[in-house]
């Protein structure tokens, strides 16, 4: 039996047969402000709170303080989970890489091996305590800081490496899957949650979530309205 990790989004886990299979790499995709970071954090937070599962949240753009401010305002309390959810702020590493690139400008751009940056970091983190859930926030930023040029090959190796890590990973990406545009990461990921904000009528905008794919799971591919109240996410069916 494969272990399943719940999203703890009320009403949603039953639509994905109980949760995300252990070891999956899941894309959390959506435009700005669709609550990708908050949702990903809340999955780690609730797994820690309810099941004692350890998680690591690697934030590359938004700093740790800003992320903590956001989730606290939403009604979650990072103190309640303590070390069970570790937020790793690698914006400092990122700045270091940029400086390195600036000082080594000798014609062609230097490609910093992007896997090495993250690998080294996560191996350090694993050394100080094992974890089962990982969030990488976000894929576009990781691409920028790594100076990735051969995107298709780079992503292929990166996803392969993530799968070999044997943790369940949420990779935040900024573009929603578009049936007209084929993106490598959509094929490489084991699962995709697509988050959107949809205009309804003249004035209203609703947040939506859809499980586009989840390997090995007979999930509902339908669209749900996503709401958050007192730090808890829940879905309702769009009629």
Ligand X SMILES: Nc1ncnc2c1ncn2[C@@H]1O[C@H](COP(=O)(O)OP(=O)(O)OP(=O)(O)O)[C@@H](O)[C@H]1O
32 is in the binding site of which of Mg ion, ligand X, none (Cβ under 5 to 8 A by kind)? ligand X
Number of residues forming the site for ligand X (CB under 6 A)? 12
Give, as ranges, the residues between 167 and 186 that touch ligand X (CB under 6 A): none
* 8 Å CB contact between 25 and 163: yes
Which of 13, 63, 64, 70: binder of ligand X (CB under 6 A)? 70
- How near is the Cβ of 57 to Mg ion at its closest, in Å? 11
By beta-carbon proximity to Mg ion, the closer residue of 110 and 197 is 197
By the criterion CB under 5 A, which residues form the site for Mg ion? 37
Q: Which of 50, 73, 166, 215 binds ligand X (CB under 6 A)?
A: 73
Q: Which listed option, ligand X, Mg ion, none, makes contact with residue 38 (CB within 5 to 8 Å by class)?
A: ligand X
Q: Which residue has the tokens 């051969």?
A: 150
Kindly state the smallest distance separating residue 58's Cβ from Mg ion, in Å.
12
32 binds ligand X (CB under 6 A): yes
**Is 33 a residue that touches ligand X (CB under 6 A)?**
yes
For 187-236, give the DSSP string.
HH-SEEEEEEEEEETTTEEEEEEEEEEETT------EEEEEEETTEEEEE
Helices 114-127 + 139-146 axis angle, to 10: 120
- Using CA atoms, how far residue 49 sits from 36, 54, 79, 125, in Å, is 20, 10, 11, 20
Convert 194-208 to b/e letters by CB count within 10 Å (16 or more is b). bbbeeeeeeeeeebb
Comparison of 27 and 217: residue with beta carbon closer to ligand X = 27
Tokens of 172: 């935040």
Give the footprint of ligand X on this chain (CB under 6 A): 30, 32-38, 70, 73-74, 228
């Amino acid at each position: 039996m494969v272990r399943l990790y719940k999203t703890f989004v009320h009403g949603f886990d039953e639509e994905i047969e109980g949760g995300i299979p252990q070891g999956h790499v899941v894309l959390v995709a959506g435009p700005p402000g669709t609550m990708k970071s908050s949702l990903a954090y809340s999955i780690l937070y609730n797994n820690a709170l309810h099941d004692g599962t350890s998680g690591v949240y690697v934030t590359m753009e938004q700093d740790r303080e800003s992320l903590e401010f956001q989730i606290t305002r939403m009604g979650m309390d990072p103190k309640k989970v303590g070390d069970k959810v570790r937020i790793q702020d690698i914006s400092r590493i990122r700045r270091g890489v940029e400086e390195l690139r600036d000082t080594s400008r000798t014609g062609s751009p230097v490609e910093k091996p992007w896997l090495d940056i993250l690998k080294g970091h996560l191996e350090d983190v694993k050394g100080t305590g094992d974890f089962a859930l990982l969030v990488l926030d976000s894929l576009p930023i990781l691409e920028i800081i790594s100076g990735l040029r051969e995107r298709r090959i780079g992503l292929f190796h990166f996803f392969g490496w993530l799968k070999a890590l044997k943790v369940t990973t949420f990779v935040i990406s900024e573009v929603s899957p578009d049936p007209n545009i084929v993106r490598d990461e959509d094929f490489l990921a084991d699962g995709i949650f697509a988050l959107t904000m949809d205009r309804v009528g003249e004035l209203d905008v609703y947040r939506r979530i859809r499980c586009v794919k989840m390997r090995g799971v007979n999930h509902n591919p339908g669209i749900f309205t996503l709401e958050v109240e007192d730090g808890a996410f829940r879905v309702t069916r769009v009629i």
